[in-house]
Chain A
Amino acid sequence: AQSVSQHNHHVILSEAASLELGCNYSYGGTVNLFWYVQYPGQHLQLLLKYFSGDPLVKGIKGFEAEFIKSKFSFNLRKPSVQWSDTAEYFCAVTHGSGNTGKLIFGQGTTLQVKP
């Protein structure tokens, strides 16, 4: 079965530190990749997505992610985190097409940024 693995369960950083959250998936075919974020008390929302083309994807709030096909990875990065980035981050992958595609989520990484 397809799966998504996020290696870091809980990350604590100081403001201005650089961030990299790992994500690996197990599916070998064509995939679409996503990072979702859930700020405290808020709904899950899309941070960035990769469908095709440039493997370096830029999202909102200064986040980016790089798709490395050979490593089955889609790591999330941000050069300098802020206290407001404290949230839970979910990597997700889907394959298949159209209405039959299913989002498979990782277990999430809790990011705590200390001011």
Chain B
Amino acid sequence: ETGVTQTPRHLVMGMTNKKSLKCEQHLGHNAMYWYKQSAKKPLELMFVYNFKEQTENNSVPSRFSPECPNSSHLFLHLHTLQPEDSALYLCASSRPGQSYEQYFGPGTRLTVT
């Protein structure tokens, strides 16, 4: 248990659906991250939030929409996804000023049909 939880753990959605991924951290961190993990590829950083403000958008398509209502919660809203978006989506958090030591959640396994 790392103190970072993600729900749901598995999600299957059609290309016309709208769904959301949720991440919650119980570590008192102020930075939160979304990553995409595809088979045989490096983890891809998608978004970074520091103190609820988005500080990084790594050229992510607009069909992925993040939301950070407070420092403990992070959402990833999904709409009109493509099959190639199927992957494991990981959330992470870190302490202020220590963005390099990140604590990861278990991930959401997303399948787009």
Contacts and interface: CB of A to CB of B under 8 A. Distances in A.
B74 interface: no
Contacts of B102: 46, 103
> What is the size category of the interface that chain B forms with chain A?
20 to 34
Contacts of B2: 43, 45
Given A99-B50, A99-B55, A107 B41 contact: yes
Given A99-B31, A100-B55, A102-B56, A107 B100 contact: no
The SS class assigned to the A binding surface is strand
Interface residues of A, number: 24
Given A99-B50, A107-B40, A108-B42, A43 B99 contact: no
The SS class assigned to the B binding surface is loop
A45 B104 contact: yes
B84 interface: no
Nearest to B5: A43
Given A99-B55, A102-B56, A43 B107 contact: yes
B45 interface: yes
B41 to A, nearest CB: 6
A9 B101 CA distance: 24
Interface string B70-113: 00000000000000000000101000110111111111000000
Contacts of A76: none
Given A44-B90, A99-B50, A105 B99 contact: no
Contacts of A89: none
B31 A103 contact: no
A45 to B, nearest CB: 7
Centre residue among B90, B96, B104 by max chain A CB count within 10 A: B104
Contacts of B97: 98-99
Contacts of A42: 106
